[in-house]
Structure 1
Amino acid sequence: MPRNEYQEQLYRLREDILEMSDVVCQRLRRALEAYETGDEATAERIVAGDHEINERYLELEGDCIGLFALQQPVAGDLRFIASSFKIITDLERIGDLAVNLAQYAIDAAESAVERDRYPDVDVTALGKRTIRLVEDAMNAYATDDMTATHEIAARDDEIDEQCARASRSVVRDLVASDGEADDAALEAVSRTLLTIRDLERVGDHAVNVAARTLYMIDNDDELIY
């Protein structure tokens, strides 16, 4: 295969992965909005559309495998393809977490009450921070920005601490109920804790993207864990 055609394949792979990330972040943003507003119709569409992300993941996985098998890349190209392969896995899992969030919205029959239940827990703000983290991680991948990869890891530490504080607030509220919480209240607690956990996981996947990007650019595995 001519060198210019091979380079074009590498370019298209990156562009296709960036397009997948745009779709995943859009779905995550809409799932967050559905969770906050109780928009069950939107949440149901997100759950029903999960197969689209899975299919896109499999297509890109096939592209990566094809480049490995047919081109036998070395050095920087090898790191780029290997990192891209890992990044699409993180994107697919973020898509799964968006589905989780949408499902919580569907399950919350009294979502308006739940939104008021924990005034100290701002799920929307937390969710927006994690979405921005994913977007910035993908921008680092798009532009080969090594500096941004370290900044993303540091910002995720802050998100982790926010999640821990939010979870403690929910648990304190449950303990303060002194055993008087009914089944609906316990379900609300469970959903809120699961939401916080899943948003924290989104941030972890953003760090994974940053780590693979750093490795791709500079053969540096410092952020890989």
Structure 2
Amino acid sequence: MLISFSCGVKRNFPLIKLAARHHRTPAARRPGGVDPAQRRERRGYRPGAGRFPVGLAARHAPRFCVLMMRRKSAIRRWRTHLKGNTMHKQIVVTMAVRDLSKSRDFFSALGYTFDPAFSNDDAALMVITAGSIHAMLMTEAFFRSFHSRQIANTREAVEMWVCLSCDSRAEVDDLVAKAVALGASATGEPEDHGFMYGHGFTDLDGHAWQFTHMDAAQAA
């Protein structure tokens, strides 16, 4: 199993701050920088002659505008990242499956959806919570292309336990009951600790899933 994180940036990250500072510093004040006015003069700009250098063919003007728009868009995205205070924004749990089609049918029947933009014959991205929690189901052959080590034999060992929260006890019971009806195996009996309730199952490929509901009022 692989766990991938989508990373943002920390505002106090030294390298990011350095890059941001460099972006805001006028060229003339950077080491080895050239004053913008001198650069424009070297390239053939004339005051009042428009945005493009003298001699630049008209057919290149649209391409130049597109490049400028892309650059500005990249800068806007960069500044948006600088405002972030959270390092990990998304998580993708990647697991090997023996039959991708059957696994897709199994999790679809549990109510999960798949993102077609990141799904093909080798892998399928399952959406658990849109924008934050996903599971990438990969065929064993494709999974091996990312690692030199052997894939865990889930029939004999537990590779990892994926735990997800639910809104109610009924949701926990419903998910486990549906999974068992589809061929999964329940992992023991439900655990009731008063403030926390949980139960789980082992899916068609031996991956362990646990679902819990916590009552905030009782926990307090």
The normalised TM-score by structure 1 is: 0.26
Higher relative contact order (CA 8 A, sep 6+): 1
Larger Rg: 2
Between structures 1 and 2, the one with greater strand share: 2
Between structures 1 and 2, the one with greater helix share: 1
The normalised TM-score by structure 2 is: 0.26
